[in-house]
Amino acid sequence: MDISPDRELGDFLRSRRARIQPEEVGLPGHGRRRVPGLRREEVAQLAGVSVDYYIRLEQGRGPSVSDAVLDAVGRVLRLDDTEQEYLRTVARPAPAARRRAAAGSAPQKVRPGLRLLLDSIDKVPAFILGRRMDVLAWNALGDAVVGFSRMPPAERNMPRQVFLNPQAHEVYPDWPAVAAETVAYLRLDAGSHPHDRQLATLVGELSLGSEDFRRLWADHLVKEKTAGAKRMRHPVVGELTMPYETLTVSGEPDQMLVVYTPEPGSQTEERLRLLASWAATPAV
- What local confidence, expressed as pLDDT, does residue 95 receive? 63
Task: Identify which of 133, 246, 252 has the alpha carbon closest to the alpha carbon of residue 199.
Answer: 133
**This prediction's pTM:** 0.87
* pLDDT digits (tens), the chain, 284 positions: 556 656 888 889 999 999 888 887 777 765 666 777 888 999 999 999 999 999 988 887 755 788 899 999 999 999 999 999 999 988 887 665 355 445 456 788 899 999 999 999 988 999 999 999 999 999 999 999 999 999 999 999 999 999 999 999 999 999 999 999 999 999 998 888 888 889 999 999 999 999 999 999 999 999 888 889 999 999 999 999 999 999 998 888 889 999 999 999 999 999 999 998 887 665 44
